[in-house]
Structure 1
């Protein structure tokens, strides 16, 4: 019985454990994108609890760079912590977390953070001394109320045409400006410059450079995203990433966005509405103090709830105090599940 690092060939057992734990399938391509293709790491950070050649536990980090106080640091997003349901009660979860802290320090990671489910949060706090920083606010805008209501009360579908009138009055008003939008299929060096320019806008912000953004959005093997860059002449001033989820109704998401100046946020929001013009609802995450909140509130978004906990654990001495959520800039794109 030991905790060891991932070795090539372990992915088959990892996939089986994932399905057994979370009761859902995941393609090998998605696993590889998440753990092998990440441009911010040289090798996957995966620790496994191995008992006689059988993998009974798994803990991993999605390693990336973040500006902390304007300087680049290495941070790790906790992902896919799991223990075989038939092996629980053996202390595997604690052993994995103990090893996680040791190995994170060894490879130079400065801070760990994550968005765990309630039980995982409880155990992570107990075994690592991590902090429950806050619960992520979810902001919601109902764009097509009659279409939305008709999914619950089918006779109301006759009122769907009124959604066009509703959107005309409740949707964003056109903002005249000298900026122009361009659809982005691949991020270039201008995104590196923008990431550097906003390094001091928040005390902690993931480095959203071209390598990260291309991997995160344009190279994703399953999810489809729309990205638009906002330019003044040839200079990039911001970008917005959206996606849609189809079900009983169309759920629109603002997944990620970044702006060089405050006057850019309303323009990015306007573009998001264009991308999501057929969504019944539009939602995003945003900490209450964050710059986009002013634009969201003005447009009529409401703070619906706060369903996702944000937890953090300092590894390096200079990251003590980062448990204050007001120091962070967070978007849904910072989570592996979006």
Structure 2
């Protein structure tokens, strides 16, 4: 039986090798160091299964400072849970998960949260005592419908003709285009300074349960990401920061062979509705300049600025992302904040896969 133990310096090579084997990826050790050791909120709690010196399993809780009601507490995001194929169905996953909870509690983590696959969700609900808060709806703003159709029809001209009625109905669905009423100055952000701490201090009371948007977190998560180059646009008015939007773009293959350029709103924080509208207008300029086909955004039911984001033209798709939570303490006072969808403000910045 493998030993269940915490991370030790030097384990990272084996952990990365196991990750690449299980998930068929090509992760590098420098990415692992950034993700698990360099967070401003401390080293990730890592529970490992050690079979005679070989790492064969892992469960983790990555600490994040969370705003929960009028308090700031530590939450722990479960990422990279894995067991080598030769050791599955032997109880390791459950033992590793519960041990990671113990390690997290010692660090001061109050609750566990994560975005599990549909397969992993069943185990979380049935074996680990987690609760499904919601299936996060994925919304889409379509920019170039004819290009998507052209891949399937093999004719650009025909795609333009056939998609015209669809584009008309989309236009009707979106309704009147909203525009910002104020004038802003925009700048592209490479590093997040004290202005973002001041912005968060002013607007945080408007938001629900979420990762605090401190500059230290934003610099670690966005500016210092080892693999992804995000774009961040900040909006100022009369010299004061009013909000920011973080976006990314990528090319993906639809049905394994049709390349499309996809944009994502990774995070957006604004002082008011007008700043949200202005920030997306600026992001839209960028997306159109690089010929994005469509843009994706998370919009939870009841989420702060839900209606604003919908007014910007986003339409609900059938895609969903499970979001599950577990209270690790006896403090039931946080339950109403962490178990109710409408209390969360979730953006892809929360998830390690974006």
TM-score, with length taken from structure 2: 0.89
Q: Is the 8 A contact 1:172 1:270 kept in 2?
A: no
Determine the C-alpha separation between the residues in 1 that align with 2:40 and 2:52. Answer: 33
Determine the C-alpha separation between the residues in 2 that align with 1:127 and 1:200. Answer: 36
* Structure 1 vs Structure 2 CA RMSD: 2.3
Moved more, 327-336 or 255-264: 255-264
Give the aligned partner of residue 244 of structure 2: 239
Determine the C-alpha separation between the residues in 1 that align with 2:34 and 2:234. Answer: 24
Determine the C-alpha separation between the residues in 1 that align with 2:281 and 2:149. Answer: 25
Q: Is the 8 A contact 2:299 2:309 kept in 1?
A: no
* SS class of match (1:256): strand
Give the aligned partner of residue 323 of structure 2: 310
Corresponding position: 1:297 with 2:310: yes
Q: Is the 8 A contact 2:138 2:319 kept in 1?
A: yes
Q: 1:160 to 1:245 in 2, by over 3 A?
A: farther
Runs in 1 of length 4+ with deviation above 3 angstroms? 157-163, 169-176
Determine the C-alpha separation between the residues in 1 that align with 2:312 and 2:237. Answer: 24
Determine the C-alpha separation between the residues in 1 that align with 2:177 and 2:286. Answer: 13
Q: 1:19 to 1:157 in 2, by over 3 A?
A: farther
Determine the C-alpha separation between the residues in 2 that align with 1:206 and 1:7. Answer: 28
Give the aligned partner of residue 329 of structure 1: 345
Give the aligned partner of residue 292 of structure 2: 279
Corresponding position: 1:210 with 2:215: yes
Determine the C-alpha separation between the residues in 1 that align with 2:278 and 2:177. Answer: 9
Q: 1:245 to 1:161 in 2, by over 3 A?
A: farther
- 1:150-299 matches, cutoff 5 A: 150-156=150-156, 175-247=180-252, 248-277=259-288, 278-299=291-312
1:216-241 per-position Cα deviation (integer Å, ceiling 9, x unaligned) = 11111111111011112222111101
- 1:34-73 matches, cutoff 5 A: 34-41=35-42, 43-73=43-73
TM superposition shift of 1:176:
4.2
Determine the C-alpha separation between the residues in 2 that align with 1:309 and 1:83. Answer: 21
Q: 1:258 to 1:153 in 2, by over 3 A?
A: same
* SS class of match (1:329): coil
Determine the C-alpha separation between the residues in 2 that align with 1:190 and 1:264. Answer: 16
Q: Is the 8 A contact 2:115 2:351 kept in 1?
A: yes
Give the aligned partner of residue 106 of structure 1: 106
Determine the C-alpha separation between the residues in 2 that align with 1:305 and 1:200. Answer: 32
Give the aligned partner of residue 15 of structure 1: 16
Point out where structure 2 has 5 or more consecutive residues left out of the alignment: 253-258
TM superposition shift of 1:82:
0.3
TM superposition shift of 1:330:
0.2
Q: Is the 8 A contact 2:149 2:159 kept in 1?
A: no
Q: Is the 8 A contact 2:273 2:308 kept in 1?
A: no
Determine the C-alpha separation between the residues in 2 that align with 1:298 and 1:157. Answer: 31
TM superposition shift of 1:213:
0.5
TM superposition shift of 1:47:
1.1
Determine the C-alpha separation between the residues in 2 that align with 1:73 and 1:60. Answer: 18
* SS class of match (1:213): helix
Q: Is the 8 A contact 1:183 1:227 kept in 2?
A: yes
TM superposition shift of 1:292:
3.2
* SS class of match (1:291): coil
Determine the C-alpha separation between the residues in 1 that align with 2:158 and 2:188. Answer: 35
TM superposition shift of 1:49:
0.9
